[in-house]
Amino acid sequence: MKIVCLDGYTTNPGDLSWEPVKKLGEFVCYDRTKPEDVIERAKDADIILTNKVVIKQPQIDKLPNLKYITTLATGYNVVDVEYARKKRIDVSNAPDYSTKAVAQHTFAFILEIMSKIKLHSDSVYQGDWIRSDDFCYWKSPIIDLAGKTIGIIGYGKIGKEVAKIAKAFDMKVKTVKRGRPYETDPDIDFCSLEELLKESDIVSLHCPATTETTGMVNSDFLSKMKSSAILINMARGVVVNEKDVAFALNNNIISYFCGDVIEKEPMSPDCPLLVAEHTLITPHIAWASVESRKRLIEITANNITSFIKGKPINLVN
């Protein structure tokens, strides 16, 4: 089996080992692949690994040896899974490798806003504490999480992990009640979206990008939130209308926006959020802890092993 990884750099820039995959066949790994180079690089591949490189019908039709695609991610929108199914090409993803890391990153945002660690540390190093007349001071209100309400939109594995951490902080947790039944949890308030937006101090997005959720966070959505509320996007950039969020921030409709994802990645210089008030943005790194990336490689190797044995796992098509 020839295994070609089209964009391995973000998964493993050199601090980890590809050995779990290497031992499964002839392995070629490219750090990055431009769209025009996909066919040439993957022309002999039986198996393709991709993170963000698009594999749709035009590519699939020109890769006669291709039998299996596994994404170096949980998301798989870069692959035309339906067309792959028609061509009898199995497609798998890598679920649950970064759940704890993404939940941790969510609370890194929250704690920075509530405690203002960087603001006060910078103040100390600028000499403010040396010049202080008192044994302590604060440059911004410090806020308890206990008793605050977090509204979680997208109550999958990551959403549940965020809820678990929130409960450890003695927060109230709301999530949106859908048509399907939920497990009983007396500590979670399953409610309407309107109620969640109205009552939440923090609204945290952990939903997939679907037809229903694309552009969901718009001016109408934002107008239903508390003016003191924090919005956190840990889902996908397309879930948020960036112009509407920037307007809401600049006009005190909401108080803060935190995001690890944006609509166009890498970021465009004209992204509205770059010039909006009260934002914290990280470059899509919530998933990227050393431990998570190591698990990602291990899951990918298991996906390939199972496919070779004729019993593919984590199939999405």
Nearest to 246 by CA among 266, 264, 270: 270
Structure tokens at 107: 């609370």
Sign of the C-alpha dihedral, residues 129, 133, 135, 138? negative
* Distance separating alpha carbons of residues 182 and 168, to the nearest angstrom: 21
- β-pair partners for 189: 174
* Distance separating alpha carbons of residues 7 and 235, to the nearest angstrom: 21
Q: Out of 206, 236, 293, 295, pick the active-site residue.
A: 236
Phi, psi (rounded to 5 degrees) for 5: -100, 120
Q: Out of 19, 26, 212, 265, pick the active-site residue.
A: 265
Active site residue 284: yes
The answer to whether the CB of 94 falls within 8 A of the CB of 300 is yes
Structure tokens at 6: 């089209």
Enumerate helices (H) and strands (E) in the chain, giving the number of each: 12, 12
* Distance separating alpha carbons of residues 117 and 135, to the nearest angstrom: 17
Please give the order of strands across the beta sheet that includes 2-5: 26-29, 2-5, 47-50, 68-71, 90-92
Active site residue 265: yes
Please give the order of strands across the beta sheet that includes 256-259: 188-191, 172-176, 149-153, 202-205, 230-233, 256-259, 279-281
Enumerate the active-site residues: 236, 265, 284
